[in-house]
Structure 1
Amino acid sequence: MTHFRNPSRKALFTARRFRNLVAACTASAILSGCGAVNHMMYKTTGDVMQGFSRDHTVPFLMESGDLAMGCAMSEATAPLLMSFGRVTSEPDQLAVMLYLSAGGCADEQAREHELAALAALHAMNGNAAEDAMIRQKRAHALAARRYFKGWQHHNAHYGEPGNGECPDFDDDMDEFIYMAGLLSGLQALNAQTQSTSSIGVPANIGSVVARATGCLENDKWWGAPMALRATVWAMIPGAQPKGEDAFERLEIADAQGEAAGVRLPHVFHAIAALNRGDEAMVREVIRNHAESLESAPANEDWRFVDAMATDMIVAVSDRLWVENTGHRTPLGQLGTFWDDKQEAVETMDLDDLL
């Protein structure tokens, strides 16, 4: 117990205690409010990042033809951008693009492993081939999980597709992201099948996607919606409506894509031909794609999509080359094949000049 002989000292001590109490209360109030302030700051940052990414980052990327940079960006930034869903609304639209691109990264790895396996088989190295096939399946499983996440975010934002109702699109980018989500769903099913494991992707996604493409303007999107729908018809028994021909539709879509400078329909055409086991048609699609690259530049607004289409066509070409020669498509020779007849070269008899 403190004793004060001098009343003034007692008053001074009381004042100090009061000040300390006020300071403690103030600090407590500030600290208790820090969480709310931080939450508001994080929410504002998240909203800004979401809006900026959708309105500027994605369009900027679509104007670029650098697939490797897009792949690296999606894998590196997805955790950061998706974490803002903890403090503000879930960035579902942005997630569609991020997981579609990240799934493509894993798919690219799977294709590399497949080529390694084919090369090993051509060299009669069974152990190396088996190891590469295992790595291929693992990469496909990762791709399936990523694509499926994109599909789930697509459905969270736009609603369940293929139910007869179409969303009201705000702008062209909104419509493009819708189409990207449909592609992500179809890719999820394809990757799951190739992984030979179950990721939980519903088997009816193909038919759902085919119906949902009716919400997209085919002419605006380079024939891709019709090409996607026709591919599903070609791959799923009984899916093709009466009076329709999937491969006629794919040829029409090819021409639309070539004219628009976004050759994505070629990819769907090649996939359908591969599923049919028609190598002659696959070669024709590859040749047409290579010729189109020479005659028509990529659409300036959608260079990334066109470059992605070319990358996938090169992958199909590489697969054929490696199976038959042990090496990939030679540089600068996309659209040619190992067994093409060489044009006769005119020779001169030098003896007559002597």
Structure 2
Amino acid sequence: MTDLQQAATSRLPGMARLRGLTAAVVASVALSGCGVVNHMIYKTTGDVMQGFSKNHTVPYLLESSDLAMGCSMSEATAPLLMSFGRVTSEPDQLAVMLYLSAGGCSEEHAREYELQGLAALRAMNADSAEDAMIRQKRAHATAAKRYFRGWQHHNTFYGEPGNGECPDFDDDLDEFIYLAGLLSGLQALNAEIQSTSAIGVPKNVGSMVARATSCLDNEKWWGAPMALRATVWAMIPGATPDGEDPFQRLEIADRQGEEAGVRISHVFHALSAQNKGDNERLRDVIRNHAESLDETPSNEQWRFVDAMATQMIVAISDRMWVESNGHRTPMGQLGTFWDDEGDAVETMDLDDLL
């Protein structure tokens, strides 16, 4: 072998190592490029999903009166839509709606467990009653966590409410989501109290919500901002300003909501009356809600909100009926009560069931 051949042969291992190193570098760059490309795809997808959800999904849902479908949608899609916050901007506005709706799902479960517990008490079944009450508190705890997350996302997007400054709203939906976030904060506090658990909801949420409602046009939003504010006044001792009557304000808000076909103020009024132990006022609110449903159809743009109000009024009525009669409000009899004189209450012949 010549000296030239020997030298070439001696360089082969080094050249092989160089080629291996080059291949590794190329592969690394290629894989890194795939990661960048994937990230760009995910980010674009996330931006599209967020934009589509706000511009189309949420308005479409608000025009629907199918609360069960809205509940299922929020619970099923929240993890998917919120996960896009890992690759693009956090969908804080969308989160307010998702967690408010998901919290409502848990609260509905809590109401069902409460009715089961009341029925068990009437049947003198202490064990079943206690079990239902435990499940009720657990459901309220879940609701409080969900509502509180919605409240936190609301504050991240709009800034801390009630600090004397109002956000610049882009459109009506932007304002509505702001209102929804305030409701989520108040619901978080209420659900935490009912759960008897420490979720971490600040105890000054009520006063923050009351101040922040001044950022919204009361007449435009069916009296709901004033109803929220008056509810805080009615429920927190010493919160009512001098010269104000929270229940008078709630009555005004009720009329605005009835005329607009969005009766969410009835819920605030009923809760305030319930908290005060004013049973006659509570009955009047339920009667007025039932009569208004017959007289004024739901606002087409906000059917979901009006349906949600009716669901909560029915839930309050159901609780009253179960406590007194052992069964829920009879079908078609919302606004009537078991002891009303002259009102025919639906009855059932139990002989056919035996």
TM-score scaled to structure 2, two decimals? 0.91
Q: Aligned partner of 1:191: which letter?
A: A
Give the deviation of 1:24 after TM superposition: 5.5
Is 1:96 paired with 2:110? no
Aligned to 1:9: none
CA contact (8 A) 2:47 2:88 kept: yes
Is 1:139 paired with 2:139? yes
Give the deviation of 1:27 after TM superposition: 3.3
Aligned to 1:253: 253
Paired positions, count: 342
Q: Aligned partner of 2:128: which letter?
A: A
Aligned to 2:30: 30
Q: Aligned partner of 2:78: which letter?
A: A
Aligned to 1:57: 57
Alignment of 1:59-138 (within 5 A): 59-138=59-138
Question: 1:58-104: per-residue Cα shift (whole Å, max 9, x none)?
Answer: 00000000000000000000001001111111110000000000000
Q: Aligned partner of 2:250: which letter?
A: L
Question: 1:1-54: per-residue Cα shift (whole Å, max 9, x none)?
Answer: xxx99xxxxxxxx99999988766543321121111111111111111111111
Is 1:48 paired with 2:57? no
Q: Aligned partner of 1:237: which letter?
A: P
Q: Aligned partner of 2:325: which letter?
A: T
C-alpha distance in 2 between matches for 1:156 and 1:32: 33
Give the deviation of 1:255 after TM superposition: 0.4
Name whichever of 43-52 and 24-33 sits farther off.
24-33
C-alpha distance in 1 between matches for 2:72 and 2:133: 24
CA contact (8 A) 1:103 1:146 kept: yes
Q: Aligned partner of 1:219: which letter?
A: E
Name whichever of 34-43 and 168-177 sits farther off.
34-43
Alignment of 1:1-354 (within 5 A): 25-342=25-342
Question: 1:240-293: per-residue Cα shift (whole Å, max 9, x none)?
Answer: 111110000000000000000000000000000000001111110000000000
C-alpha distance in 1 between matches for 2:147 and 2:288: 29
Give the deviation of 1:169 after TM superposition: 0.5
C-alpha distance in 2 between matches for 1:25 and 1:131: 63
C-alpha distance in 2 between matches for 1:308 and 1:226: 19
Give the match's secondary structure for 1:56: helix
CA contact (8 A) 1:122 1:325 kept: no
Give the deviation of 1:343 after TM superposition: 5.4
Q: Aligned partner of 1:103: which letter?
A: G
TM-score scaled to structure 1, two decimals? 0.91
C-alpha distance in 1 between matches for 2:23 and 2:258: 72
C-alpha distance in 1 between matches for 2:341 and 2:156: 53
C-alpha distance in 1 between matches for 2:300 and 2:343: 36
CA contact (8 A) 2:106 2:139 kept: yes
Give the deviation of 1:197 after TM superposition: 1.0
C-alpha distance in 1 between matches for 2:174 and 2:129: 43
Give the match's secondary structure for 2:320: helix
CA contact (8 A) 1:213 1:226 kept: yes
C-alpha distance in 2 between matches for 1:197 and 1:29: 52
CA contact (8 A) 1:115 1:319 kept: yes
Give the match's secondary structure for 2:64: coil
Is there any run of 5+ residues in structure 2 with no aligned partner, and where?
6-13, 345-354
